[in-house]
Structure 1
Amino acid sequence: MFTTYKEALDWIHARLRLGIKPGLARMEWMMERLGSPENSIKAIHVGGTNGKGSTVTYLRSMLQAEGYHVGTFTSPYIEQFNERISVNGTPISDEDILELVNVIRPLADELEATQLGGPTEFEVITAMSFYYFAQKHPVDIVLYEVGLGGRFDSTNIVKPIASIITNIGLDHTSILGETHEEIAFEKAGIIKEGIPIFTGVRHPGALKVIKEQAEQKLAPISVLHEDFAIVNHQSAARGERFSLDTKEGFIPDLEISMIGKHQTENAALAVTALLNLAQTGWIEIGEKSIRDGLAAAYWPGRFEILSEKPLVILDGAHNDEGITALAAELEERFAPKDIHLVFAALKDKKLDKMIATLDQAASTISFVSFDFPRAAAAEDLVKISTSTHKLAVDDWKAYLPEEIKRLKENELLVITGSLYFISEVKPYLQELLKNDKIPL
């Protein structure tokens, strides 16, 4: 029995040593012991390569605007571990984490002694969330973000009222497959019998796989650019404007505060899914709630402007598609400013294409490492780069404040890469900025 939040958190993080173990058997075992809490939750399940967290945020914000109490399960965290399990955007308390760990730990110990082996960190947190939303703090609806893949992800024991698959790219190829089609098959594992599926997948081969799986499971499918469409898109100073054409009707002049054309696609998926659920009687949602919710939606670490003068941007672009979207947005919004990039990554990622894209986008590029078991060494990253203005940095905490001080009016600093890195950087820089330790 743990008595402090720190003890509980240390126990959770220690389970990172077990790595990633795809499969549902351990989750099913724990859920049976807990009385099958996953069966009493009304949920929307969100998978895909990029855009999952943003899509969950749009869904939550619109449902909240309508008056619903909304639970979310997301990963990884950006500012605080507790945000992985939240209600109406507010992370659960340290006391709740402690209580949940004391519920799950005996099961984990018992499971360790079986042939299934002990649950991973992610499985433990997922089990905590199901117990919390079903038995400790019931809510009207829960939004579950897939952790990795879909078919064997620990969240895939949920029985949702709708499933969403955002865009698909080549990420986690060592686990999910080397091609878009193979990865799409894993992502399509969240499609359930007869449950509507909404997708923003663009790759033709991947979309073909999604459609085939939906047809096999008699799941009604709605595809972006085929069954619903974004029209009249315009970039704004701090966000995007667009109209949405769906089977349920036309909604003009929607506004979002998250930056990037790809964010209009995530928002369109969220709106279309809610309109369908309203039409089929699962929820109620009015146009005002859609507008207000989209406008208010905020997700940290996604093209987030941390400081205006000097201009400092955080973006958790951690795969080819994310880096490509970041580079395109920087070109559209900030050319011909000089762009200084700081990049950190996990060593199990395919990095060549990402770094090549960043080399082209940046005037200078600095590579850093950070304190995480799977973090790539800065020296290894700089070897991949072909930039003539590149640097390997040993201590990012000492480097970033000095780099920000050096920025001139026609320059900006973009800190990007692994979301685990962004989660360390953001609170550190916010604290320095708040205490005026970086003069602006």
Structure 2
Amino acid sequence: MTDQTIEHRTNEPLHSYGDAVEWITGLIPFGIRPGLERMEKLMELAGNPHRRLKFIHVAGTNGKGSTCAFLTSVLLRSGYDVGTFTSPYITKFTNRFQYNGNDIEEDTLLKLANELKPHVEAIAASELGSPTMFEVSTALAVLFYATVTYPDYVVWETGLGGRLDVTNIVHPVVSVITNIGHDHMDRLGNTLAAVASEKAGIIKPGIPVVSAVTQPEAVEVIKQIAADKQSTLYLLGEQFHETELAVSQDEQSFRFNNLFRTIEPLTITLNGAHQRTNAAVAVMTLEVLRQYNALVVEDEALTEGLRNAAWPGRLEMVSQAPRILLDGAHNPEGAQSLAAALKNTYKYDRLHLMMGMLENKNHQDVLKHILPIVDTLIVTEPDFRMKKDANAMADLVREMCQQQPDKYSFELVVEQDWQAALKKLQQLTETTDLGVVTGTLYLIADVRSRILYNSDSEKGW
């Protein structure tokens, strides 16, 4: 094959939605390469469209997606046009790019991909090297909002970290840091303070920041960075508070109060105490925008927007006979929140839990929250290239049981095929029991698609 042939193929336009997704996801081998140089160049070649948009930039270890869902729901209920950019997606690639709650049209995605393709190839041929899949997806989102839909606000979720995350090219109207936890520490640093420093990289000079970070060492870092940037910080437990009023399955209410006012009751249908925290962060973010940007959100719209917010794959009951609950708890803090919800929100005789993880996660600290509460643990493997081997996971479980034999009492099942593991879970879960599927969202996406649609999903980042 001649160089000319390669050149010709490279320059060819994409002909279908499938071609566009294949081209973008085909950039995965370039991996996650921190830094903004390629992204800045891509935006420059596209005419810097991101400068025309109002972004609400959301970072954090857990809770980003739920917080984005609360923000989007309330803003929509208040009459605003809203773009929502999130990752990963649960069902289809288009889920990541939403406008007023609807996915981007396949034809629009194809058109925008063809607009970006020559710029991506020009950068790939330069000393910067090829833009990554996440960079191209982020650029496509910017084009979608800045040149096609023109929303009043874009709810803008970070991918990984903050400081060097490709979403950090934007200058937001408010920055949000949901929390800090033990995830991606191989990339973000091996202490909570180091992770906090990376997440706080989204704080921009003079732009207010809202956070629910609790650990003293992380709070100290965020306070210092906010002070250095002369950005006013609104911190849960200091400038705003959330107080539980009532909790039942699929409904919980809380009191919200801040420097400006108190609102009660506010009700959400997402389960788990951590979701009240995420909702409070969203409410405080909207309160800040009321003060700084003259945002108009009536209390009725706030109440209805919070109640109607939904986020798939997080404490989501996808089957009633048998009862099967999905929760993408893929790091220690997520597992802790899941365990707390299983103890406090759900009723059952026996708990059967199926888990599949990625290789680069903190498996032992996830398992320590799960093992004490289960009657059956089924370890399996997600259908993804970075999967954690089920037998290796089972060995770790056995080792933990040997170290503390009095603490754990459950049946361990090893089934590498996730579909066979799901059948086993469904068979085990009797009428008064609860079946749970947890771990990586790659597994959650497949199981959710199989149960709800009896089909394969497009899943991924």
Deviations 1:394-438 (A, max 9, x none): 2221331343144212211100011122112111111249xxxxx
Is the CA contact (8 Å cut-off) linking 1:43 and 1:144 kept in structure 2? Answer: yes
Is the CA contact (8 Å cut-off) linking 2:70 and 2:309 kept in structure 1? Answer: yes
Once the two structures are superposed, the pairs formed by residues 284-433 of structure 1 within 5 Å of their partners are 284-334=296-346, 337-386=349-398, 389-432=411-454
Counterpart check, 1:110 vs 2:110: no
Q: 2:85 maps to which residue?
A: 73
Of 85-94 and 25-34, more deviation after overlay is shown by 85-94
Give the letter for the 2:116 counterpart. Answer: I
- SS of the residue corresponding to residue 331 of structure 1 reads helix
Is the CA contact (8 Å cut-off) linking 2:203 and 2:229 kept in structure 1? Answer: yes
d(CA) in 2 for partners of 1:145, 1:91: 16
Counterpart check, 1:125 vs 2:147: no
d(CA) in 2 for partners of 1:285, 1:334: 33
Aligned partner of 1:60 among 72, 95, 100: 72
Counterpart check, 1:152 vs 2:164: yes
Deviation at 1:116, TM superposition (A): 1.2
Deviations 1:335-360 (A, max 9, x none): 66211111111101121111232211
Aligned partner of 2:240 among 220, 228, 246: 228
Deviation at 1:138, TM superposition (A): 1.0
Structure 2: runs of 5 or more not aligned: 1-12, 402-409, 456-461
Aligned partner of 1:92 among 104, 107, 110: 104
Of 332-341 and 193-202, more deviation after overlay is shown by 332-341
Deviation at 1:281, TM superposition (A): 3.0
- SS of the residue corresponding to residue 282 of structure 2 reads helix
Is the CA contact (8 Å cut-off) linking 1:20 and 1:120 kept in structure 2? Answer: yes
Is the CA contact (8 Å cut-off) linking 2:57 and 2:155 kept in structure 1? Answer: yes
Give the letter for the 1:191 counterpart. Answer: I
d(CA) in 1 for partners of 2:328, 2:428: 23
d(CA) in 2 for partners of 1:329, 1:160: 33
- SS of the residue corresponding to residue 279 of structure 2 reads helix
Q: 2:16 maps to which residue?
A: 4
Is the CA contact (8 Å cut-off) linking 2:28 and 2:132 kept in structure 1? Answer: yes
Give the letter for the 2:145 counterpart. Answer: F
Deviations 1:198-239 (A, max 9, x none): 000011100110000000000011000111101243212212
Structure 1: runs of 5 or more not aligned: 434-440
- SS of the residue corresponding to residue 293 of structure 2 reads coil
Of 85-94 and 335-344, more deviation after overlay is shown by 335-344
- SS of the residue corresponding to residue 254 of structure 2 reads strand
TM-score relative to the length of structure 2: 0.92
Is the CA contact (8 Å cut-off) linking 2:422 and 2:447 kept in structure 1? Answer: no
Q: 2:458 maps to which residue?
A: none
Q: 1:277 maps to which residue?
A: 289
Deviations 1:223-267 (A, max 9, x none): 001111012432122121101011221101110010010101110
Aligned partner of 2:256 among 226, 240, 244: 244
Is the CA contact (8 Å cut-off) linking 2:380 and 2:421 kept in structure 1? Answer: no
Q: 1:15 maps to which residue?
A: 27
- SS of the residue corresponding to residue 431 of structure 2 reads coil
Aligned partner of 1:205 among 189, 196, 217: 217
d(CA) in 2 for partners of 1:126, 1:254: 33
Aligned partner of 1:176 among 180, 185, 188: 188
Give the letter for the 1:139 counterpart. Answer: P
Give the letter for the 2:27 counterpart. Answer: R
Give the letter for the 1:153 counterpart. Answer: D
- SS of the residue corresponding to residue 373 of structure 1 reads coil
Is the CA contact (8 Å cut-off) linking 2:272 and 2:341 kept in structure 1? Answer: yes
Is the CA contact (8 Å cut-off) linking 2:177 and 2:210 kept in structure 1? Answer: yes
d(CA) in 2 for partners of 1:3, 1:401: 39
Deviation at 1:279, TM superposition (A): 2.0
d(CA) in 2 for partners of 1:355, 1:275: 38
Q: 2:265 maps to which residue?
A: 253
d(CA) in 1 for partners of 2:395, 2:246: 39
TM-score relative to the length of structure 1: 0.96
d(CA) in 2 for partners of 1:155, 1:74: 11
Give the letter for the 1:316 counterpart. Answer: G
Deviation at 1:315, TM superposition (A): 0.3
Deviation at 1:361, TM superposition (A): 2.0
- SS of the residue corresponding to residue 354 of structure 2 reads strand
Give the letter for the 1:228 counterpart. Answer: F
Deviation at 1:109, TM superposition (A): 1.1
